[in-house]
Amino acid sequence: MTVRPTLEKVAARAGVSRATVSRVVNGSASVGEEIRVAVLRAVDELGYVPNFAARSLVTQRADSIALVFSEPPVRVFSEDPTFAGIIRGVSQEVEAADKQLVLMMAGSARGHERVERYTTAGHVDGVIIASMHGADPLPMSLARRGIPVVCSGRPITGNGLPYVDMDNVSGAVQAVGHLLERGRRRIATIAGPPDMIAGIDRLNGYRQVLRDSGRRSIIALGDFTRDSGALAMRQLLEDDPALDAVFVASDMMAFGALQTLRLAGRRVPDDVAVVGFDDILSAEYTEPPLTTVRQPTLRMGRELARLLLTRNPESPVVLPTELVIREST
Partner DNA sequence: ATGCTGCCTGAGAGCGCTCTCACGGGGAGG
Partner DNA sequence: CCTCCCCGTGAGAGCGCTCTCAGGCAGCAT
Q: Is the dihedral of CA 180, 182, 186, 189 positive or negative?
A: negative
**Interaction pattern, residues 26-65, with DNA; x per rule: CB under 7 A:** x--xxxx--x------------x-xx--xx-xxx------
Residue 2 binds DNA, judged by CB under 7 A: no
Residue 54 binds a second copy, judged by CB under 8 A: yes
Measured from the CB atom, is 48 or 247 closer to DNA? 48
- Closest approach of DNA to the CB of residue 60, in Å: 7
Helix (H) / strand (E) element for 297: namely helix 297-310
Cβ atoms of residues 188 and 220 within 8 Å: yes
Helix 7-14 vs helix 18-25: crossing angle, to nearest 10: 100
Residue 156 binds DNA, judged by CB under 7 A: no
Hey, which residues between 185 and 224 contact DNA (CB under 7 A)?
none
Amino acid at position 81, single letter: P
Distance CA 180, CA 174 (A): 10
Residue 283 DSSP one-character state: G
β-strand pairing of 273-275 with 64-69: unpaired
Residue 87 binds a second copy, judged by CB under 8 A: yes
Q: Which does 87 bind (CB under 5 to 8 A by kind): a second copy, DNA, none?
A: a second copy
Burial status of residue 186 (CB atoms within 10 A of its CB: 0-12, 13-18, 19 or more): middle
Residue 290 DSSP one-character state: P
Distance CA 49, CA 25 (A): 9
Residue 123 binds DNA, judged by CB under 7 A: no
Measured from the CB atom, is 118 or 234 closer to a second copy? 118
From 114, 133, 207, 234, residue interacting with a second copy (rule: CB under 8 A): 114
Stretch that binds a second copy, among 20-28, 266-274, 279-287, 308-316 (CB under 8 A): 279-287
- Which residues form the interface with DNA (CB under 7 A)? 6-8, 15-20, 22-23, 25-26, 29-32, 35, 48, 50-51, 54-55, 57-59
